[in-house]
A and B are shown apart, each in its own frame.
Chain A
């Protein structure tokens, strides 16, 4: 008995050491990605200059302006966007108990796109100069939530993961179809802005937008982390979770709120970003080799932020000065992962 007790504690201790190591590595990766993103570009800024600008709050010079008004918001937005999408994807994967879902795959991003197009391109958004970011966020959230509700009702009827996947794709197509009809009737000037938005980019974040990202997203992120205990129980299945004391109805609502809120938030500002929500949770699981969401949620935040920031860097520097859509880069690394998962058909969450 004593021996077994020691053994259990040893395992936990060993795991804890590993845990700290991996978290440090991920944090380093995130900081590195952010740092490179902030210092490189059309104007390279050396590290000492960069630190000078940061710590002495230089805003008067060109470099200072670029760092404070362009680079930092952009890097922060990409980090937050990636983190939020990764966590949204993780929540969805646990909720549907299906490894091949994510906000983009399930048509949740498309639902958000549809609602945003309604606001940006039709009379709904008229008379609002400069388009209130709150309104777009709200529209994206409603669109994401609507798509998610449809998916949830389908998921309650079908058990097969692939069927769910196809249903998500079809919802995506439907949303695209409606969006394209709206585009056809829209004013050419508005369409350009919308098309640019739709390509997805973390550029041009304003301070107010960033504030919404940080605060609304932060609250949702904390809420998601608070859900990690019932999320773990939910891995055993809905009935087991319920039998262990999870209030399933409340849990469903909170998951819906968190995942749609996070995905909608990112989509409303940066446009639909593909595959981060799907691939990052998987890579996190592989790195930590656990399905424990108490570890995965912070892990996915760091890794999602780092990878997306890195993808953003590639998107704007690969063919500079031409900037590629962020989804083009994320798809390049995310799509193969989906194919591998489908081929393996492993149900490992």
Chain B
């Protein structure tokens, strides 16, 4: 960071409505060109904090400093050249083309009657281009879909040529495609134009991948502030949202939802990512999952761990040891089903094949997703060996046999 003072500096700030604080003693400092996400459950006070930072709400106590000057000392037009906002409420200005709407963003830069000069037209055009909405320019704002509208809102904020854009849940109501569009546009604004983005978001996974900084907001306070890599460990996200049966896995950047585990116990012999999808499916359908023997660097190990499965794990790069094999064998004996995901067997995990053979020897019901399994299970009692192509078929077979 250069030696410049932070664009936004918040000191001992309490925010709220009508002198009743929602968030207390917030201390944050925002550096130029950063992408900052506010995370936290609904009603935690994210919107109130954002509006106070944008100067739309007066703080209950404390100060917001913008470029080293108290926000309350700014003239409104002056502040408008520094901070632009995108709010959640739907804007319905009446008969406005997208171009005219975006041009409203020039408000702090135009003359008394808001006449657009050549420079203003250029700024509006390039704002539209930046959000990939050049083709929407002539459309009526009221005729746009939610995704297109959001782009128009972003372009309007951009046309204001601010240093900071503050967004309140910019991806709300959007489908996945537009959600990704909006996020990548924001990222581009941040990286190409050096505009600081402060956004409240609900997608922890996207936030963790896109932000330079996250602030965790809960129970009337900012409970965490720092880089997402540091702040979004599994437990902190679960605490933030009071997850009972879900877990955020920072390595995968995804939220795994644990099942209730009230149905039978299933042992999955997996490895190298072949089990991940199956684990999720089994958890969703309420099976208790045991799995092994997984190396700790295996994708399957992360997913199974997040889902709360009983895992027998082995340090990476080492062959499965005898002890671990026996532990896994014990789990096999307790299981109602054994599923073989068709993992590739090499030197290190050869014994997982033996686990499946062991299950067959124990007269367990074994389902295999292996395309060519003949060689492996020769000489075993294959009465209970069920062959399936994919995860859904596995589940169908299990439902049948239960």
A residues neighboring B (CB under 8 Å): 1, 4-5, 7-9, 11-12, 226, 228-229, 232-233, 235-237, 239-240, 242-247, 285, 289-292, 294, 347-349
Contact = CB atoms under 8 A, between A and B. Distances in A.
Given A233-B104, A294-B114, A240 B91 contact: yes
A92 to B, nearest CB: 14
A247 B77 CA distance: 8
A290 to B, nearest CB: 5
Given A229-B114, A235-B96, A244 B80 contact: yes
B146 interface: no
B1 interface: no
Nearest to A4: B125
B373 interface: no
Given A9-B121, A232-B104, A239 B87 contact: yes
Contacts of B80: 243-245
25 contacts: A7-B137, A8-B121, A8-B137, A11-B99, A12-B116, A229-B107, A229-B112, A237-B89, A239-B89, A240-B91, A242-B55, A242-B56, A244-B84, A245-B79, A245-B80, A247-B76, A285-B94, A289-B95, A291-B96, A347-B92, A348-B94, A348-B142, A349-B92, A349-B93, A349-B94
Contacts of A244: 80, 84, 104-105, 107-108, 160
A232 B110 CA distance: 13
Contacts of B99: 8, 11
A228 B121 CA distance: 20
Contacts of B105: 244
B122 interface: yes
Interface string B96-139: 10011100110110101110101001101110010000100110
B95 to A, nearest CB: 5
Contacts of B112: 226, 229
A239 B110 CA distance: 19
A153 to B, nearest CB: 15
Given A237-B91, A349-B95, 13 more contacts: A5-B118, A5-B125, A8-B124, A226-B112, A240-B85, A243-B83, A244-B84, A244-B105, A244-B108, A245-B75, A245-B80, A289-B95, A349-B93
B357 interface: no
B311 to A, nearest CB: 50
Contacts of B83: 243
A110 B400 CA distance: 77
A238 B141 CA distance: 18
B199 to A, nearest CB: 15
A1 B121 CA distance: 11
A341 to B, nearest CB: 13
B187 interface: no
A112 B95 CA distance: 32
A291 B122 CA distance: 23
B266 interface: no
A291 B94 contact: yes
A291 B96 CA distance: 6
A5 B122 contact: yes
B54 interface: yes
A18 B142 CA distance: 22
A233 B159 CA distance: 14
Nearest to B79: A245
Contacts of A8: 99, 121, 124-125, 137
A229 B104 CA distance: 9
B51 interface: yes
A236 B93 contact: yes
Contacts of B137: 7-8
A236 B95 CA distance: 12
Given A240-B87, A285-B94, A285-B95, A294 B113 contact: yes
Nearest to B114: A229
B159 to A, nearest CB: 10
Interface in B20-76: 51, 54-56, 75-76
A239 B76 contact: no
A226 B113 CA distance: 7
Interface in B277-311: none
Contacts of B116: 12
Contacts of A11: 99, 138
B161 to A, nearest CB: 12
B77 A245 contact: yes
B76 A242 contact: yes
Interface in B168-200: none
Contact of A291 (B93, B126, B160): B93
A290 B95 contact: yes
B329 to A, nearest CB: 64
Contacts of A348: 92, 94-95, 142
A237 B156 CA distance: 14
Given A229-B112, A294-B113, A348-B94, A239 B85 contact: yes
Contacts of B95: 285, 289-291, 348-349
A246 B56 CA distance: 11
